[in-house]
Structures are given as C-alpha cells and as structure tokens.
Chain A
Amino acid sequence: MGEAERGAAVFRARGLTKIYRLGEVEVRALYEVDLDLYAGEFVVILGPSGGGKSTLLNILGGLDAPTSGEVVFRDHDLTTADDAEMTQFRREHVGFVFQFYNLIPSLTALENVALVTEISADPMDAREALRRVGLADRMDHFPSQLSGGEQQRVAIARAIAKRPDVLLCDEPTGALDYPTGKVVLEVLAHINKELGTTVAVITHNAAIAEMADRVIRMRSGRIAEILHNARRASPAELVW
C-alpha cells in the first residue's frame, strides 16, 4: 500500500530528540526520529525495553515534550503547547490504553467509561462503547469483579468512547495471558476497522507485529526499520 492511499498524516514528527539527565549521566532516549502516522492505520512499534518506544508514545500522546525537534498533530504544534493545551489535546484527540488498565476501582465498568464521555464533546454512548468491546453484560461490575482481560477491554471502551483520532496502547497485552491477550488484540483490530481510528501499539512481543499495517522497529532511540505488511494477519492467527 502506498502512503498516498492511506490518506493524510495525522502525526508528523521531525528530528525528535529526547535527552534525560540522570545526575551526571545523559540518557538519549530518542535521537533524531522522523515519523508520520496516517489516519486509519494500525501501527505496531516494536523494540526492546529502553529502545525509546515508550518515550515516542509519550511525546505523541502529549504527555512529554521533546528536547528538540518538532511534532505536529494535524494543525496543533505539540512542541510548543503548554500543560493546559496538552490536556486539551489529550482530551479531544487521544485515547490511551495502559498496560495495567488503570481503571478507577470505585467506579463500575459503565461508570469508568461514562467518566470520560462526560467530558467529551461528541462521545458515543458509554453502553455502546462497552458493547463494542463485548462487555454488554458486565457493565455494572466493579474492576475488582472483572478479570484482567475484561478490565483491559473496559479500558479500551473508555479510550474509544470519546471517538478519538488516535488510540495509543502501551503494552496492552503485557499483563494478560495468551488467550485473553488475543481477545484484547481482536478488539483493537475491530475498533481500527469499524471506526477507522488510528491505532499505535507499542510492544516487545514481535508476534503482534503481524497484525499491523506498518511495523516500526526501534533500537537505542532510533528507528531501526519500518516494515509494511502486505497482509494484516487477524489476531486469531497470531502465535507467541
């Protein structure tokens, strides 16, 4: 697939560099990274821990600012945004899925989703979001009453309910067993296909790469290579 067919770039990053200072030592988490993410694509960012993939995701998600370089989301320049603008950006455009779900334990599944739909401009119905992740019958359960996979699906419902432009997932299956992890990936693929949401998944599980449109391999803060999958495998086909 050519890039033109994919539509416009949602994110455009140029020369992204992130340097952390840990006392005397400088750690270069990202170095001169150029990257575009396109509307509707499913991207897997792959690499070992410390490869810079989380730092990249944080910058794209408006959680962190690069030391140098620029990153633009559509017409928002994230490089110069202050805390309030970053918050607004995350609120309107980004859906996050965490490795450990990070649900609010005092709220039911439905309420965890509703919490986000309450502050969104054009959300889908919270029940609808839960139906899409296959949890229509678990809506009134509290997180402590749900399995890990169910909790992660609630987290995905929470992320998609506000109809974000991009879904950023940090090791979404990292805490899950094999079959549960597959269910979660299926939900992500389904959302990507049905809603056309751009999905970026970071993982060190190379098997997941097969379900992506593009695979970005990172090593030592740089993009080592970008692969285009000719055919996206369905999550059911994945083996690890």
Chain B
Amino acid sequence: MRSKNYFFAVLALISLLAFMGLKIRIDKIPRQKVPGSSIIYLPSGKYLKYATFGYSSLLADLIYLWSIQFYSNYDIPHRFDYLEHIYSVIAELDPQYLDPYELGAMIAIYEAHNPNLAFRILDMGLEKNPQEWIFPYQAGHYAQMILKDYALAQKYYQKALAIEGAPPILKRLFAHATYRLGDYRTAWQNWLNIYQSTTDPRIKKIASNHLYLVKSAMDKEQVEQALRQFRDKLGYYPQRLEDLVSYGFLSQVPKDLDGRDYLYDREKGTITPAQSPWKR
C-alpha cells in the first residue's frame, strides 16, 4: 500500500514536469494567427441583435474592444476590408454608443484612407443620435483639414450649428469656410456678427483678424478687377492705385481694416495687405 502511494506520487511528479517542459517548448513555436477572421461571419447587426437576448449593448462593447486591438495590429493584411461592416454591426447593436462612430471614422480616414467611409460612419452617428453635434463637427473637420473641401465642411458646420448646445467655435469655423469658398459678403457678415456678439477679448481679436482678412480679400478682388479693366483698356497697369480712381475704374482706393495702404505690385497687377492678419 505504502509503496503504491510512492509510485503514484513519483508518477504525478514526472508527468507534471513533463508537461511543464513541453509547454515551454510549444510556446516557442510560432503559429500563424488570423485573429478576428471569425468576426467577418457576423451576420447583419439587425439579426444579431435578436440573437443576443438583451445583451446587445455588452456585445457592442466587446466587439468594439476587439476592433481596437484588431486595428492596432499593423501585421494583419486586408484588415480594412470589413471596417464598415464591423462598425455598422456595432452601431446596430448599440446605436447610442458614441465612441465607436468617432473611432471608426478616424480609422477610416487616417488608416484606411477612405474618407467617404468616414463620412458615412459619422452620418450614421448623427442619424442615430441627432443631439450629438460632435459628429457633424468632426465630419466638417475632416472635410476641411484632409479633403480641403470647404463646401462640404461648410455644410457640416451648418448642420452642427443647428443642434442645440453646439459650441461657439462652430460659428467661426463656418464663417471661415464661407470665406474660403469666396463668399466674402456672407463671411464679412458672419464675422461681424461674431465680433459684435462676444465680450471675450480673445474672440474679439480673432474675429477682428478674420474681418481684416475678409476685407483684404474683398478689397483685393475689387481692386484687382479694376486693375485688369485698366490694363485691358489702356494696355498697361497704372503707376499708382490712385490712377484707378482718376480714370473712373474705382470710386476710391480702399485701405485695410487698420487704415493702412495696400502694397501695389505693378508688375503682377496685384495688391497685398501690408501685414499678416495674425500679427496685428
């Protein structure tokens, strides 16, 4: 009896050491992993919601967490193929979960270089959460910064402004986008509005700088058009800007917002403001 117990104890010890040793060796063998391949077989979010028995919010969290790890792993090829699918599944499961929309759009733009997908995701976010100005804000931001598409940006800023609680910066972004689109009149009005309605000295300064910018643009347009007319008629650019007035192409020579003269380049037929609007 005694000897049998010893035998068993020794056998247990041997097998313990054996499998421990094997484990260390097996760990060293590299195995090709295709993590997340199974998630592609997620059926559409609509059906999945019913299959989760009320835990759809939890499942959304899990899939979102998984997707963060998945997309952080740069070794995986073709990982963006199902980006839209995954994020629409999350949206279906828990439409009010805000973070995934932002992250999904971010991945789409910066990693997958697919701006249209980003906009679709943010649109989806706004559709399901009409009170969240952050989505059109971000969309406008991407449109302006990455695509340089000010028309699109302006549209988004307008949408954002329509939502209660939208931060004041959106007004400024909208105004600037309007300026960029060349609609100087409206831009001037917007900036004037901003200038007059704020008491914050910093915002006033910003607004005044922008007003300077807009005025400069407007003046530039006006004067350069007159210059072109002059040249067309007389064959050369005038010696001085005042000549434009003398000849009737301008009613007066505009000065910049600070009352300074514009710098006239006779060779090119352009005027430029004497200073940068931001260094005033």
Please determine whether chains A and B interact with each other in the same assembly: no
